[in-house]
Structure 1
């Protein structure tokens, strides 16, 4: 073991390329230069251990005579790689030069190596600007990034066009009171609760469209499954026969997403002790009324209201996991009262559906009304103001094809995939009923 040089940036070091911690095994016996954050530190009788964290993982470095800064300081280490069975990844770096790039000015408000999602959750969110650096925290965000990338790539391959729709709107896409109001140069405006109306209009342009963007819901929830701002993965497609075409598309899409996660995120799932689910070639389907009856008859749970309550969603998912080995189930044929005004009616029900995954709804979708007279009647039936929706409804005078689509909540899907109990930890900087910072 060598004593680190006191030089801050020796000339020989400047030509040494940076090595990521995940690649140390490729440099056994060689000198490397690491850059990252001081994740943890120990001093054992004059021998110092510095755990460095970079974008790819962590590595242990060992030296003597070091003046180690506070954890979370940005550091650079030059040293020789040696195999070590007890070190993270099986290798450690024997320090020759140690440099502080930017010292932390005070102790971190949370100990990142010791953080857990079920301990002091509000503290972790209060100091999210630091806690998001944690290995598990960033693993969840990396998984979500790959979900979004797979979403793009699969839909591009199926002939979809990405669009961008306004997030400042004059009326809500779904009606109701869950709209954030804002002053728009003296006029009343709102933050968009969905790109639904715009993506339907754009079906008349590109036939198949999608968008990845935040949406806003002014709902006073304070639960582990709700956010007031979340990332919505929206899809709309034209010239369909029925909602079955939409569900089949989503079936294929989910299979592609899970395949990509297996290729790119096995380390993140292993870190979080989670498994990537199989997607059946044909996800099971059940009408809502039958689903309600099933959970009552099999589990003795009486469902109130017009939809499935959270316990019914959990029990229905349990049933399909036990009987068909599927973590996924489409609940179809929702009544009009449980769907927005644009849902295509079929007698007393609609061609709308929800997708449940491991006990929670992650998608709402279905076929939309494409006929002008039917749409205007539905707007009146829902007691909405036709004038406020004129910018949307006018396009249906001009030959809109049969169409439908769905939206996936990225944070909910991420949380359920990884076993995260609170959806707030599946977003870098969550916005909920009580949180506007950081």
Structure 2
């Protein structure tokens, strides 16, 4: 039906384009239109003394953000976007746009985030906002490419489950016929079960649900998790996989999304593996020296603590050797000191991005640790059963896609990194 705008050059001579009316400037004898599709913007100039009556009528009637189809001659113009201009011979209003608009796509009048999310279909017409999702798409493609080339199986775990994945109460109950069911917090238990199945290396990119009552700029109740599990591997092995993946994701964006990065005005640097590793004990010492609040060994890291450590590190890094008491029951304790486990968090200077560990693969130890967390082994029978029938040593992690994009692009609110965010208050659109 049309030529993508970024493929229109003076050398094409003629072109037919279709898209949205981004901006209109009427100068009396001349009217300039900026027409936008997802590939770019082109200037269309209507010279009133030379244009046909049909073109003049359409140019007079059209409103901003209407969908149009225009054909005509293309010539070079230095000051026009892309250095070319289209003079219309036909000008069709395909779908008119009502006025006033719920928000200004050109962004001369700023809108707050709630207004933007309420009219998200308009918000993402902005090149700057669309750039976020072009980059997110590239990151997703890079993720699949990375694992496929390394022989991982792509799995899909259920999102409707009968028990909590990790214990606790942060669950969304749902009506599931005559049964009690919940939305899954994580594919954790299922990807571990695939280690017993002999799959050895698996990954999944899919939704997770957390009924946390947070209302912050970095929490969502429905998020996308990138999950990995690897057999015959320890925590060091899968930390290397994680840092290599993140470097690959950044490198792919740098290579394929230069136009989107320019739209966002992002200064972009590809992190280099290996990332520094610091023990939990050293991390809390750094935080204690930088912030005015007591931090005891065994405390989880607060947001101010994470920021303080991030300022000190100044790059992606791992916090390793966590106290077993504050990590999940499936984290493998060190043989020589069971009070510490083979768990890790991968951090960006702004926040945590990923959490992982070598897992307990011994049935008796796993049951013991489930009980130590105050949980009932009977509630996890479907998960425990594979551990009786030959479970290999294994390790893995999960990483939040939205936090990855948020930190990669310097976004101020995690809701900007997802098309239709779900938080404590928002369930529409």
Normalising by structure 2, we get a TM-score of 0.92
Gaps of 5+ in 1: 1-16, 322-326
In structure 2, which of residues 19, 41, 54 is the aligned counterpart of residue 58 of structure 1? 41
Q: Aligned equivalents of 1:278 and 1:299: distance in 2?
A: 29
Is the CA contact (8 Å cut-off) linking 1:317 and 1:359 kept in structure 2?
yes
Following superposition, the deviation at residue 187 of structure 1 comes to 1.2
Q: Secondary structure at the match of 1:414?
A: helix
Match of 2:214 in 1: 221
Following superposition, the deviation at residue 317 of structure 1 comes to 1.8
Q: Aligned equivalents of 1:303 and 1:133: distance in 2?
A: 46
Write the deviation string for residues 201-236 of structure 1: whole angstroms up to 9, x where unpaired: 112231100011111011111100011101111111
Gaps of 5+ in 2: 49-55
Write the deviation string for residues 235-279 of structure 1: whole angstroms up to 9, x where unpaired: 111101x21011011121112112211111111112111133332
Matches within 5 A, 1:278-357: 278-297=270-289, 302-303=294-295, 306-321=299-314, 327-346=315-334, 347-357=338-348
Is the CA contact (8 Å cut-off) linking 1:115 and 1:134 kept in structure 2?
no
Match of 2:6 in 1: 22
Following superposition, the deviation at residue 115 of structure 1 comes to 6.8
Q: Kindly tell me: are residues 71 and 103 of structure 1, through their superposed partners in 2, closer, same or farther at Cα, counting changes over 3 Å?
A: same
Q: Secondary structure at the match of 1:61?
A: strand
Coordinate RMSD, CA, aligned = 1.8
Is the CA contact (8 Å cut-off) linking 2:68 and 2:92 kept in structure 1?
yes
Q: Aligned equivalents of 2:107 and 2:214: distance in 1?
A: 29
Matches within 5 A, 1:40-79: 40-63=23-46, 64=48, 65=56, 66-79=59-72
Match of 1:9 in 2: none
Range that drifts further, 164-173 or 48-57:
48-57
Normalising by structure 1, we get a TM-score of 0.91
Is the CA contact (8 Å cut-off) linking 1:37 and 1:74 kept in structure 2?
yes
2:371 matches 1:383: no
Q: Aligned equivalents of 1:382 and 1:335: distance in 2?
A: 13
Q: Aligned equivalents of 1:314 and 1:82: distance in 2?
A: 53
Q: Secondary structure at the match of 2:168?
A: coil
Q: Secondary structure at the match of 1:39?
A: strand
Q: Secondary structure at the match of 1:113?
A: coil
Match of 2:51 in 1: none
Q: Aligned equivalents of 2:11 and 2:102: distance in 1?
A: 36
Following superposition, the deviation at residue 72 of structure 1 comes to 1.9
Match of 1:211 in 2: 204
2:113 matches 1:127: no
Q: Aligned equivalents of 2:108 and 2:362: distance in 1?
A: 54
Q: Aligned equivalents of 1:307 and 1:46: distance in 2?
A: 67
Runs of 4+ in 1 over 6 A off after TM superposition: none
Is the CA contact (8 Å cut-off) linking 2:104 and 2:111 kept in structure 1?
no
Following superposition, the deviation at residue 138 of structure 1 comes to 1.3
Following superposition, the deviation at residue 298 of structure 1 comes to 5.2
Matches within 5 A, 1:358-373: 358-373=349-364
Write the deviation string for residues 64-109 of structure 1: whole angstroms up to 9, x where unpaired: 3222422222111112222223222222222221111111244321
Write the deviation string for residues 183-204 of structure 1: whole angstroms up to 9, x where unpaired: 1112110000100000111122
Q: Secondary structure at the match of 2:204?
A: strand
In structure 1, which of residues 419, 423, 438 is the aligned counterpart of residue 414 of structure 2? 423
Following superposition, the deviation at residue 387 of structure 1 comes to 1.7
Q: Aligned equivalents of 2:73 and 2:325: distance in 1?
A: 68
Q: Kindly tell me: are residues 68 and 330 of structure 1, through their superposed partners in 2, closer, same or farther at Cα, counting changes over 3 Å?
A: farther
Write the deviation string for residues 268-304 of structure 1: whole angstroms up to 9, x where unpaired: 1121111333322310000111111022235666446
Q: Secondary structure at the match of 1:220?
A: coil
Match of 1:178 in 2: 170
Q: Aligned equivalents of 1:338 and 1:51: distance in 2?
A: 56
Q: Aligned equivalents of 1:280 and 1:188: distance in 2?
A: 46
Q: Kindly tell me: are residues 299 and 95 of structure 1, through their superposed partners in 2, closer, same or farther at Cα, counting changes over 3 Å?
A: same
